[in-house]
């Protein structure tokens, strides 16, 4: 078995794999023991741990003492990277691309988390970059933090009224419909640059936003975990 760990800005996610099959996954709190969520029987079967992290310290007590691969900018990936500032490139972006990578189609990976990232791969050429914008919660928080009277919206629903008739409904409309139009705009742009584009949506808000968007988008919340698992063979010593 393999244990994949994605330590990001919004928390630590894990996935337990048996070869290429994701058996189960979830979230860990900082400092929480791995034994609290994975049985000792399964822990004893883990042969490899693979992780990527934006944190300075991956503090997870009781990890099995097995081969641990840490994926960073110097790791091996299934495609060349042409990003002009690789030292600033979020490793989770490249890992998510690895999880969806195909040598037959161009890819647009949209990760809807704390921020919304857009990453484009030309299958015949490699990874070039994309775009970054604020995520749903970040937009709501910024409007609350940088104004005197706008409230913070903590609960929102699919397909809000476009014509807001209260301040709360205006905030919901502007944020949700703004993001949907933004995503559709990026899809249209990259589709115009490709003859065979495949679009993946991942991240914490992917299920919510997937219901708002056009069909033809592949929604997979576990793309980073699957990407990590797919990189084991390329990076084993």
Assigned token pair, 175: 């944020």
List the beta strands (DSSP E) in 123-213: 126-134, 197-202
Using alpha carbons only, how large is the chain's radius of gyration in Å? 19
By annotation, the residues acting in catalysis are: 92
For residues 156-172, one letter each, b for 16 or more C-beta atoms within 10 angstroms of the residue's C-beta and e for the rest, the string is: beeebeeeeeeeeeebb
- Give the pairing of strands 115-122 and 67-70: unpaired
**Helices 167-192, 136-145: inter-axial angle, 10-degree rounding:** 130
186 Cβ neighbours under 8 A, 6+ residues apart: 108, 110, 118, 131
């Amino acid at each position: 078995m393999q244990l994949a760990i994605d330590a990001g800005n919004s928390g630590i996610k894990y996935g337990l794999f048996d070869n290429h099959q994701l058996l189960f996954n979830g979230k860990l709190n900082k400092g929480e023991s791995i034994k609290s969520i994975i049985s000792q029987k399964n822990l004893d079967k883990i042969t490899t741990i693979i992780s990527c992290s934006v944190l300075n310290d991956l503090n997870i007590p009781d990890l099995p003492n097995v081969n641990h691969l840490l994926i960073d900018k110097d790791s091996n990936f299934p495609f060349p990277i042409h990003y002009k500032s690789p030292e600033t490139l979020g490793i989770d972006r490249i890992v998510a691309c690895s999880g969806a990578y195909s040598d037959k189609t161009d890819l647009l990976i949209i990760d809807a988390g704390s921020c919304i990232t857009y990453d484009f791969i030309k299958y015949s050429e490699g990874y070039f970059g994309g775009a970054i914008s604020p995520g749903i919660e970040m937009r709501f928080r910024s409007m609350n933090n940088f104004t005197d009277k706008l409230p913070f919206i903590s609960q929102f629903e699919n397909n809000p009224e476009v014509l807001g008739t209260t301040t709360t409904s205006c905030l919901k409309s502007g944020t949700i419909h703004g993001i949907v139009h933004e995503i559709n705009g990026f899809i249209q742009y990259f589709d115009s640059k490709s003859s065979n584009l495949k679009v993946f949506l991942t991240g914490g808000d992917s299920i919510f936003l997937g219901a708002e968007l056009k069909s033809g988008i592949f929604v997979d919340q576990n793309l980073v975990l699957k990407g990590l698992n797919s990189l084991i063979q390329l990076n084993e010593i």
